[in-house]
C-alpha cells in the first residue's frame, strides 16, 4: 500500500495547529502535509516535526488574501511581484522544514485569457528556476470549480499540456483523486496515463471530501492501483473527517 501523509490543515483540527503534529504521529502517520503553514514561524513548524519524528511532504505557496477571495497568484498578471515574493517565503519554509514539494496555486482567472496563460507560464518558470537548485519540486493541481468557482486550472489535460510544454524537470502534477473524480472521472486510467508527470497524490472520498471509503469510489482499489503502477511517493490525506479525526481512521488500519 502507498505511504499516507495526514493533511494537518483538515485533520486533527480538534487541536491547535502546532499540537496536530504529535497527534498525527500518535495516530500512526510518518508524514504530514499542510495547506498554508505561514501563521507560525518556520522554526516552530520544524521543531514540532522533529519532536514528532515526522516528514513534511508538501505545502502551498501563499494564495494571496484568502479572506478577500484570492485562491492563488500564479495566473494573475498584476500580482507578479507578490507571487515572486511568495516563492521566496515558501522556499525559506521549505529549507527550514526539509520539504521538497511546493504547490503553486493558479488563482481565479479564465484559461481563455492569453494574459493569464502567459502570466501562469512565466510564474511557473520563475518558481521552478528558484526551487530547482534547492532540490524542490513545484506542483500544479487541477481543482474542481464546484468547490472553487472560477479557478484557472480546472482540467487535467490542460495541466499535463502545460507541464509537458514547459518541460521543466521540477514541474510536476499534483493528482488529487477527489478533484479528478469530480472533473473527469476515470481515476484509474488517469493515474496510469499521467503517472510519468505525477509528483504528488492526494485522496478524499467523493462527493463529501471525507475519509476514504465514505463515498462513491473504491478507494482501496485506487490505492492498490498506485502500488501496481509503481508510485513511490506519499498520498496526502486531504479530507475533512466526518467526526473526531481518530474515530475515522479505520480505513488506515484496513489498508496497513
Q: What is the pLDDT of residues 185-208, one digit of tens each?
A: 999 999 999 999 999 999 999 999
What's the rounded Cα separation, in Å, for the pair 83 and 72?
A: 8
Give DSSP secondary structure letters for 126-195: HHHHHHGGGT-EEEE----TTTSTTBS---HHHHHHHHHHHT-TTEEEEEEHHHHHHHT--HHHHHHHHG
CB atoms within 10 A of CB 47: 16
The model's pLDDT over 49-108, given as tens digits with 9 standing for 90+, comes to 999 999 999 999 999 999 999 999 999 999 999 999 999 999 999 999 999 999 999 999
Q: Is the pTM of this model over 0.75?
A: yes
User: Tell me, what's the pLDDT at 255?
Assistant: 84
CB atoms within 10 A of CB 241: 19
Q: Which CATH architecture has domain 3-255?
A: Alpha-Beta Barrel (3.20)
Q: Is the pLDDT of residue 242 over 80?
A: yes
The pLDDT confidence band at residue 253, using thresholds 50, 70 and 90, is: confident
CB-side neighbour CA atoms (13 Å) of 155: 9
Q: What is the pLDDT of residue 13?
A: 98
Supply 127's cell numbers. Answer: 518558481
Query: For the chain, how many residues are written?
Result: 256
CB-CB contact of 197 with 156 (8 Å): no
- Say whether pLDDT at 256 is over 80: no
The pLDDT value given to residue 170: 99
Residue 24 has pLDDT above 90, yes or no: yes
pLDDT band at 1 (very low <50, low <70, confident <90, very high): confident
State residue 254's pLDDT score: 87
pLDDT tens digit sequence for 207-240: 999 999 999 999 999 999 999 999 999 999 999 9
Higher per-residue confidence, 255 vs 165:
165
Positions marked active-site: 141, 238
Amino acid at each position: 500500500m502507498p505511504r499516507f501523509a495526514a493533511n494537518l490543515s483538515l485533520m486533527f483540527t480538534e487541536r491547535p495547529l502546532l499540537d496536530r503534529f504529535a497527534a498525527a504521529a500518535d495516530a500512526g502517520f510518518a508524514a504530514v502535509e499542510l495547506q498554508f503553514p505561514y501563521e507560525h514561524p518556520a522554526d516552530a513548524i520544524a521543531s514540532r516535526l522533529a519532536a514528532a519524528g515526522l516528514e513534511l511532504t508538501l505545502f502551498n505557496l501563499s494564495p494571496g488574501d484568502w479572506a478577500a477571495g484570492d485562491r492563488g497568484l500564479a495566473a494573475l498578471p498584476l500580482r507578479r511581484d507578490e507571487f515572486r515574493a511568495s516563492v521566496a517565503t515558501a522556499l525559506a519554509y521549505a529549507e527550514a522544514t526539509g520539504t521538497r514539494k511546493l504547490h503553486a496555486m493558479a488563482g481565479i482567472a479564465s484559461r481563455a485569457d492569453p494574459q493569464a496563460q502567459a502570466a501562469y507560464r512565466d510564474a511557473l518558470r520563475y518558481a521552478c528556476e528558484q526551487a530547482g537548485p534547492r532540490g524542490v519540486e513545484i506542483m500544479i493541481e487541477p481543482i474542481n470549480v464546484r468547490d472553487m468557482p472560477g479557478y484557472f486550472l480546472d482540467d487535467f489535460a490542460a495541466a499535463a499540456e502545460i507541464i509537458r510544454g514547459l518541460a521543466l524537470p521540477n514541474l510536476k502534477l499534483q493528482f488529487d483523486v477527489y478533484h479528478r473524480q469530480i472533473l473527469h472521472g476515470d481515476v484509474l486510467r488517469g493515474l496510469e496515463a499521467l503517472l510519468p508527470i505525477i509528483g504528488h497524490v492526494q485522496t478524499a472520498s467523493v462527493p463529501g471530501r471525507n475519509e476514504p471509503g465514505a463515498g462513491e469510489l473504491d478507494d482501496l482499489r485506487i490505492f492498490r492501483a498506485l502500488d501496481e503502477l509503481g508510485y513511490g511517493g506519499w498520498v496526502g490525506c486531504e479530507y475533512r473527517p466526518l467526526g473526531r479525526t481518530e474515530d475515522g481512521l479505520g480505513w488506515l488500519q484496513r489498508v496497513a
